[in-house]
């Protein structure tokens, strides 16, 4: 689920390749003969699930891939996409369940292709990734064990990225990137899309609280590289059997590194909590299970814990406001863009109705129960 910087030019720059055009790209750029292709849901990039004849994948090699065509605006900064691609490979080498990246016929991990849009020729960065097995978390019942594992995964990911180096790593300091939690105040120029009413008032309130109570504490947070989008469609799981024989799930894949940027450990924890709340039947308790998993790897400091509630609320606002904004630009993609909104407004309102102290009590007591052996 790739997203942009909230600029109209970027949102309108989504590629529009047909299935035959995408097939031709796979053959011309990567030298693979496509046997089947279908589009995958996406935000402002374009993704395709690609099958090639078994022999085309090489002896014992993969025969399923994901073709990623980055939007025109993102394609203007290929060095950023290169860093994200190398980070993906670094994580895979470190044992995390990320895709592998296929090299083009020219040997590159990314390729720039041009398409005639009628009035002008537009360039797009193209990548081909191996297809990861599994189903999105959004499609399975998510209980405490899986929430704990996902929290642990988020922390492991950030901790592993501490060792990642690249000559262009500084490009991940994305100052005006709308999806970095540091940039919640940038939502102010988009809140009018919500019209007048309770939702707008709630977002304006969160933004002001963020300015007053989070921005002033950033210097006390520990900085790191964030995946930045561990949502319920970017984490894949496979079924397994628990010790007692019940159906269970374990993480099998992490998708979409296009929102990577420099942030803080607590940002990753908050983003993961927010997205895991979306489909939960008990959303207010999600945070404690995810936090327990996260802190089993990286314990948060008291000041980071104190900001977690507002950071979760702020991520809800980012997702809800930008979904409404993008729907205005791309009404044909409304079903996909409004996934979070189906329950997001209700969850955000419930968080505020309960209040920070009550929510923290639920989260922190649940997380504490893991260390005392009382969880589940």
Structure tokens at 327: 């729907």
Q: CA 339, CA 229: separation in Å to the nearest integer?
A: 14
% the chain with pLDDT above 90:
77
Distance between CA atoms of residues 84 and 362, nearest Å: 36
Residue 55, pLDDT above cutoff 70: no
Determine whether 258 is an active site residue. no
User: Confidence class of residue 2 from pLDDT cuts 50, 70 and 90?
Assistant: very low
Can you give the pLDDT at residue 12?
A: 45
**pLDDT tens string 237-286:** 998 765 555 568 999 999 999 999 999 999 999 999 999 999 888 999 99
- Distance, CA of 73 to CA of 58 (rounded, Å): 34
- Contacts of residue 357, defined as CB under 8 A and 6 or more positions apart, other chains included, come to none
- Confidence band, pLDDT 50/70/90 cuts, at residue 8: very low
What is the tens place of the pLDDT at every residue in 192-214?
A: 999 999 999 999 999 999 999 99
How far apart (Å, rounded) are the C-alpha atoms in residues 290 and 26? 39
- Residue 332's pLDDT is 60
Q: What is the pLDDT of residue 343?
A: 86
Where is 293: in which H helix or E strand? Answer: helix 283-295
pLDDT of 372 higher than 50: yes
pLDDT at 67: 97
Which residues partner with 116 through β-bridges?
A: 121
Taking residue 63's Cβ as centre, other Cβ atoms within 10 Å add up to: 17
pLDDT on residue 247: 62
Q: Please name the helix (run of DSSP H) or strand (run of DSSP E) that holds residue 37, with its range, or none.
A: strand 34-40
Give me the DSSP letters along 49-115: EEEE-GGGG-TT---EEEEEE--TTGGG-HHHHHHHHHHHHHHHHTT--B--EE--TTS-SSEEEEE
Checking if the pLDDT of 373 tops 70, the result is no
If phi > 0 it is left, if psi is from -120 to 50 it is alpha, else beta; for residue 95 that is: left
Beta carbons within 10 angstroms of residue 23's beta carbon: 21
For residue 337, pLDDT beyond 90: no
pLDDT, one tens digit per residue, over 295-322 is 999 999 999 999 999 999 999 999 999 9
Asked if residues 222 and 134 have their Cβ atoms less than 8 Å apart, the reply is no
Tokens read off for 238: 């496979």
Q: For 31, left (φ over 0), alpha (ψ -120 to 50), or beta? A: left
Query: Using 50, 70 and 90 to split pLDDT, how confident is the model at 339?
Result: low
Q: Is 266 exposed, middle or buried (0-12, 13-18, 19+ CB in 10 A)?
A: buried
229, 232, 258, 259: which is the annotated catalytic residue? 229
Helix (H) or strand (E) holding 347: helix 341-354
Question: CA-CA distance, 264 to 67, in Å (whole number)?
Answer: 30
Share the mean pLDDT of the chain: 89
User: What is residue 98's predicted lDDT score, i.e. its pLDDT?
Assistant: 97
Helices (runs of H) and strands (runs of E) counted in the chain: 11, 11
Task: Look at residue 139 in the predicted model and tell me its pLDDT.
Answer: 93
């Amino acid at each position: 689920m790739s997203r942009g910087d909230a600029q109209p030019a970027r949102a309108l720059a989504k590629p529009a390749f047909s299935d035959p055009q995408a097939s031709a790209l796979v053959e011309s750029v990567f030298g693979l003969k496509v046997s089947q292709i279908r589009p995958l849901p996406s935000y402002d990039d374009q993704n395709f699930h690609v099958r090639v004849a078994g022999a085309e994948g090489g002896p014992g090699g993969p025969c399923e891939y994901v073709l990623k065509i980055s939007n025109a605006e993102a394609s203007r900064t290929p060095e950023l996409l290169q860093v994200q691609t190398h980070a993906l490979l670094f994580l895979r080498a470190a044992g995390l369940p990320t895709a592998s990246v296929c090299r083009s016929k020219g040997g590159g991990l990314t390729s720039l292709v041009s398409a005639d849009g009628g009035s002008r020729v537009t360039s797009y960065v193209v990548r081909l990734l191996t297809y990861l097995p599994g189903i999105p978390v959004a499609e399975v019942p998510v209980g405490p064990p899986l929430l704990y594992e996902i929290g642990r995964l988020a922390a492991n990911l950030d901790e592993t990225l501490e060792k990642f180096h690249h000559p262009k790593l500084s490009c991940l300091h994305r100052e005006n990137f709308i999806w970095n939690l540091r940039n919640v105040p940038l939502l102010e120029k988009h809140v009018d899309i919500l019209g007048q009413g309770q939702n707008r008032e709630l977002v304006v309130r969160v933004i002001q609280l963020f300015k007053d109570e989070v921005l002033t504490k950033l210097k006390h947070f520990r900085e790191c590289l964030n995946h930045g989008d561990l949502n319920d469609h970017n984490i894949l799981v496979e079924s397994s059997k628990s010790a007692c024989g019940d159906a269970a799930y374990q993480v099998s894949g992490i998708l979409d590194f296009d929102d990577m940027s420099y942030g803080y450990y607590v940002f990753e924890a908050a983003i993961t909590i927010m997205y895991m709340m979306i489909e939960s039947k008990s959303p207010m308790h999600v945070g404690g299970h995810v936090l327990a998993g996260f802190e089993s790897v990286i314990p948060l400091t008291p000041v980071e814990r104190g900001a977690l509630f507002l950071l979760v609320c702020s991520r809800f606002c980012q997702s809800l406001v930008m979904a409404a904004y993008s729907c205005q630009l791309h009404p044909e993609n409304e079903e996909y863009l409004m996934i979070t909104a189906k329950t997001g407004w209700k969850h955000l309102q419930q968080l505020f109705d309960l209040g920070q102290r009550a929510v923290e009590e639920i989260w922190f007591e649940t997380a504490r129960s893991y260390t005392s052996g009382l969880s589940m």
